[in-house]
Structure formats: structure tokens, C-alpha cells
Amino acid sequence: SPDVSYMAGNVFNACSALVSLSPTCFSKLTTLGGFAFNGCSALRCGLDFPEITDIQNSTFNGCGLTSLCAEKVVTISNSSGYPPFGGCKNLSGTLYFPELKSIGERAFYNASNSAATNFFTVCAPILKEIKAYAFWQCYSLTNFVAGSSLKTIGGGAFQAATNLVSFSPFLPRKLEFPA
């Protein structure tokens, strides 16, 4: 299989019938452009991107993604208002980000199943910052695990995450409250 190292934005954008990907195709992928899997609602699998460092605008928005392992991701950004994981209704496993330092504004906005049948956990042991409304209306988020490096939680970061039962294990140095 090919060793893809760069994937531009919009590669699979709106491929709503896409149901599978060969995981070995992405083992050397270092750059994953914005909107790459946007709208791939039929894609029902866990993905592993061991080499990417940034998840950008709308990368998985509306995608059928069930879980993700991205071992080198440092930032999940949302610079133009398009949530990278917004509307991901099938997240049901653990999203593991061992190197993640920042989760952008509205990054996981409405990443939830309205029937509350799928639940997921975010594990980011060296996370430093969660920006405003990062998990807003994220009904399927049940557990959030971070380490002692978390310093800032933005206003409304977990607003309406009604099934969040565990936030581990401490309070950050700076809490912001929505206006």
C-alpha cells in the first residue's frame, strides 16, 4: 500500500458513501489538511494517525469516525469557525492524544449522538489549554482525562456536556467564565 505523507484539505470532503480506509495508507502521514474527512458520515471506524501534529478546521466534521489515536498531535485548531470534530455522532471509544497541548474553541461542538447511545472519552495527559466552548453540546462525552499540566479552561468549555461524569483529576490554575 502507498505511504502517504501529505494529505491536502478537502481530499475526501463530502464523500458521504465512503465506508472504509486502509489504515496502513496513513502510517506516515504528517500533514492532514482541513476538511479532509468532512461529511464522511458513512465512515464508521477508528483511525490511527501516528505522525500528524495538527488537526485543523473541520477535518472530521460530520464524519462517522468512532475513535481516533493521534499520538503526535499537539494542537486541535479551529481558526475559521469550523469545528474539527463537530457533529461526529458516532464517537464511541477513546480519543487518545498523548502529546496534545491545546484544544481550540468549539473543537468538538455537538460531537454527540442525540439518542445518547454512543459515548466517548478524551485522554490528553499533557494538555495545557482547553479553549472556550471546546466541548459545547457534546452530549456523548463521558470522561475527560488530563494531567497536571492543564492551566486554562475557557468559558463554557464543557457547557451542556450533560453526560460528562468524570473530569480528572484537579483544578487548573486559571478558570474563565462565560459572559
Q: What digits encode the pLDDT tens for the residues 80-138?
A: 778 999 999 888 888 889 999 999 999 999 988 766 678 898 999 999 999 999 999 99
**From CA 155, how far away is CA 117, in angstroms rounded?**
27
pTM of the full predicted structure?
A: 0.88
pLDDT of 114: 66
- Report pLDDT digits (tens) over 17-66: 999 887 667 888 888 889 999 999 999 888 888 899 989 889 999 999 88
